[in-house]
Amino acid sequence: MPRPRKCRKVCRFPRTLLFLPSDPDEARPPIQLSVDEYEAIRLIDKEGLSQEECSECMQIARTTVQQIYANARKKLADMLVNGRPLYIGGGDYMLCDGRDGSCGVCSRQDFYQMNAKPKGEMIMRIAVTYENGEIFQHFGHTEQFKVYDVQEGKIVSSEVVGTGGNGHGALAGVLHSLHVDILICGGIGGGAQAALAAENIRLYGGVTGNADKAVEALLAEKLEYDPNVHCDHHGEGHHHDGECTSHGCGGHSCGEGR
């Protein structure tokens, strides 16, 4: 049997997840840049690290970094030359939890270390955008999630966790670090929906009311939600770090945390 691919360590989830040409053409298929490919570009081209230093940060072999980096550069060239849309998501990676300190100063280490909860194999984890007991209606601005652990169709524990100052597209990384399987929320943009899909997080959007009752309704298969939900709040522009598209606000396979 082939050896399983090792997860590539990523210091922080990208803030911007979606890039669109100024003259979008639906005939141009989008390009997907995986999160680990993004990290290789960030470390080598932005931070100026050598491929050997990058391999140490990502905790993978230098030859693997070379392959990831080459693939990422080819995708970026395709985007620039052919004017194709690009979104970031998916890949074999794990977010840094700040425990080993190998990636130096990381603004999110304390957050991930504090909030990344272990999850048993038989546990399903549900997150709800949360404010004062209710479902917060703008995913990109939520400051808290209420996270429920469910076993055999019953809630066995719940906890309110902060988002660590993250917003919009980066919240998909927060949910990934918390090992969430399902998200219940109000409004959510297209870019954020794509990021959640890339992380294999099932979405139930357009939900209002009490957070606890919404989770209970979901478990009873009675939750009312909008499969075509979108974020339509006003006065916030059209470019919110990967969550918005042109009008209004718009899987992890490593075996760890799923």
CA distance 235 to 42: 31
pLDDT tens for each residue of 37-54:
999 999 999 999 999 999
What is this structure's pTM?
0.57
Q: Are 190 and 238 in contact (CB under 8 A)?
A: no
Position 153 scores a pLDDT of 93
Phi, psi of 132 (to 5 degrees): 50, 45
Domains plus CATH for the chain?
A: 8-111 (no CATH), 117-219 (3.30.420.130)
Confidence of residue 169 (pLDDT cuts 50, 70, 90): low
Position 116 scores a pLDDT of 61
Q: Given a cut of 60, is residue 142 above it in pLDDT?
A: yes
**Better-predicted residue by pLDDT, 166 or 32:** 32
pLDDT tens for each residue of 176-194:
878 899 999 999 988 888 8
CA distance 87 to 16: 9
CA distance 71 to 39: 12
Phi, psi of 216 (to 5 degrees): -60, -40
CA distance 51 to 106: 20
Confidence of residue 24 (pLDDT cuts 50, 70, 90): low
Q: Are 250 and 168 in contact (CB under 8 A)?
A: no
Q: Are 158 and 149 in contact (CB under 8 A)?
A: yes
